[in-house]
Chain A
Amino acid sequence: AQSVAQPEDQVNVAEGNPLTVKCTYSVSGNPYLFWYVQYPNRGLQFLLKYITGDNLVKGSYGFEAEFNKSQTSFHLKKPSALVSDSALYFCAVSQADRGSTLGRLYFGRGTQLTVWP
């Protein structure tokens, strides 16, 4: 069965410092991996995804994520955090192989990122 784990409910970081939000996944076959961000009282916004190719994926707002197949991880990173990055971050996985059911996404429980000035 497909699943996603975000081991940290909260991540706190000082503005200007690098940030990492962790994600590990379990899927039969090859994965598609996604990161979404949710600001208060808003829907989820797509940040970036890994489909195939380069393991380092760059996305919106200066975020990037590294796919590590051996560790089944897809951690979200940013070299220098901003206060405006404070939000709820979700990792999601979909099964990429043929026969997967309609690109269904399986979400982690979310990680609340707080960047303090």
Chain B
Amino acid sequence: DAGITQSPRHKVTETGTPVTLRCHQTENHRYMYWYRQDPGHGLRLIHYSYGVKDTDKGEVSDGYSVSRSKTEDFLLTLESATSSQTSVYFCAISPGLAGGSAQTQYFGPGTRLLVL
């Protein structure tokens, strides 16, 4: 999976608790993304990062925050987990925009989150 790890791989938590998911890359890619995958919706972008401490919102960012203090790590935090956030979360990385080929995104193995 292109030098991308996600932790934890599985998590069960209770409504109202904070949860942090970690994405770690060894490719030194500049861009990192968090998606969620739900049946019937494909993948939807939550947040993305275009450099250390540079982040922005995607299309489904409510209830989520992110941080990137190092090139290799991108954290996704569910501030107060809800049942609607039960999903599979994928991290992706991309080298950057220099040249068309740079826009290929490579995905991690995913984190399966269940909020009870």
Contact = CB atoms under 8 A, between A and B. Distances in A.
Interface string B44-58: 110010100000101
Contacts of B50: 102
A21 to B, nearest CB: 14
Interface in A34-56: 34, 36, 41-46, 49, 51-52
Q: Which of B43, B48, B50 has the most CB of A within 10 A?
A: B43
A51 B101 contact: yes
Contact of B104 (A4, A49, A108): A49
Given A44-B90, A44-B107, A32 B42 contact: no
Contacts of B25: none
B97 A109 contact: no
A4 B106 CA distance: 19
Nearest to B95: A103
A102 B31 contact: yes
Interface residues on B, range: 20 to 34
Nearest to B4: A43
A43 B94 CA distance: 15
Nearest to A104: B45
Nearest to A34: B104
Contacts of A32: 100, 103
A90 interface: yes
Contacts of A92: 43
A50 to B, nearest CB: 9
B90 A109 contact: no
A105 interface: yes
Contact of B97 (A42, A52, A102): A102
A32 to B, nearest CB: 6
A43 B107 contact: yes
Contacts of A96: 100
Nearest to A9: B40
